[in-house]
Structure formats: C-alpha cells, structure tokens
Chain A
Amino acid sequence: GDSVTQMEGPVTLSEEAFLTINCTYTATGYPSLFWYVQYPGEGLQLLLKATKADDKGSNKGFEATYRKETTSFHLEKGSVQVSDSAVYFCALSGNQFYFGTGTSLTVIP
C-alpha cells in the first residue's frame, strides 16, 4: 500500500543554517505530495504541495521538488530562523491521505 517514510528527528540547527528533511514515498498511481507544519499546541497547517512529477512547491522560504525517479519530496530551506521551530510532516494523497511520523526541528539563536 501507499506509505511515507520521513527522516527521524529531532533536528537541532543554529539560526541561518541550511535545512534538509528527507521524505520518500511509496505509492501506486500519481499521488499529490505535501509538507505540513505543526507549531506547539496547534493543529497541522499546509506548508507547501506539489501535484505532479518535477513540480516544485514553495512557501515562506521552504521548498520541495516532486522527484518521481527517486520517489522523494525532500524539504529544504536555505536559512532557518528560530520561528521555524516546529514539527514537520510529509504526506501524500493517494487512495487515502498518508502522513509520515513527523520531524521535530529546533532552531537555536
């Protein structure tokens, strides 16, 4: 069945460091791919999405490219800020919605 595998956390970075959070997926057909962010005590909110191969989703300095050949959708940001501290979830929309286990990011000043 469909599934999402996400990089284990937690991740701790200094402010202005480069961020990569790995995500790979298994799916039949052509799923849409998403990154969600969860700030402490809140629900999940959409960060970015891509609906077909080679699409790049971007928002708030984050970006991810839908790579069909490597079945990946890695999240990147060139310079993280303290306010980016949160839990990040990779997800796919196939026959159902599937989430990864989440990666906790802490950015220290």
Chain B
Amino acid sequence: NAGVTQTPKFQVLKTGQSMTLQCAQDMNHEYMSWYRQDPGMGLRLIHYSVGAGITDQGEVPNGYNVSRSTTEDFPLRLLSAAPSQTSVYFCASSYGMTGQSYEQYFGPGTRLTVT
C-alpha cells in the first residue's frame, strides 16, 4: 500500500493564481481531511469529507474548495492564491469518522509559497 500520497511536494504561486493540490489514499478510508500547518499554530482543519459526495468545512475554509467524487481522491483547490495561504498542507485519512478511536494517516505534505 502506498498509504496517503500528495502532489506536488513543493509549489510556488503568484498572487491570484489558482491550483489544485492532489491527495489520494489506497486504504479504502471513508474519512479524509485537509490541514494547513503554520509556525506556532499547529494543524488547522480546512475541509473534510466523511465519504464520496460529502464534504464539509473545517476551521479555516475560506479561499479553498474541495470535492470528493471517489473514495480514493480528495483534491484541494485554491481559487485565487494569496500570500496568507503560504503554508504546508497535509492530507489525512482514517477508517471512520472523528469521535472514534481511528487514527489518522497523513501524507508527506505540500509546501506552498505564494508570492
């Protein structure tokens, strides 16, 4: 199993550009999520999905869109990049919904810089 994969590993964007961060998992997990990691802020939840066709907002959803057309894939779209979106982005997946004991499996991250 590859686990959770993310592409690209690094990306530089100019303000106003759009892009999609890819995330895929091969563990048949129902729950997937996107986090951003900023110094001194820990991980903050952007969007999450409890299954194909179902998505919801997390703590910091503004400026980001998601969709979940398959169990395996959960792309994150930046609509119009801003310098405040410079961060490291992590995708994660787990067997079940939060509130249970299922651990989350994390991808290696995408380091995004917006100039």
Contacts and interface: CB of A to CB of B under 8 A. Distances in A.
Contacts of A43: 4, 90, 106-109
Contacts of B4: 43
Secondary structure type dominating chain B contacts: loop
Range, interface on chain B: 20 to 34
A94 B109 contact: no
A60 to B, nearest CB: 15
Point out which of B35, B58, B103 has the most chain A C-beta atoms below 10 A from its C-beta. B103
B109 A96 contact: no
A93 B43 contact: no
Interface string A70-109: 0000000000000000000100011111011110000000
Interface residues of A, number: 23
A26 interface: no
A44 B98 contact: no
A6 B42 CA distance: 10
A69 interface: no
B61 to A, nearest CB: 13
Contacts of A94: 98-99
Contact of B100 (A45, A89, A93): A93
Interface of B: 4, 33, 35, 40-43, 45, 48, 58, 90, 92, 98-104, 106-109
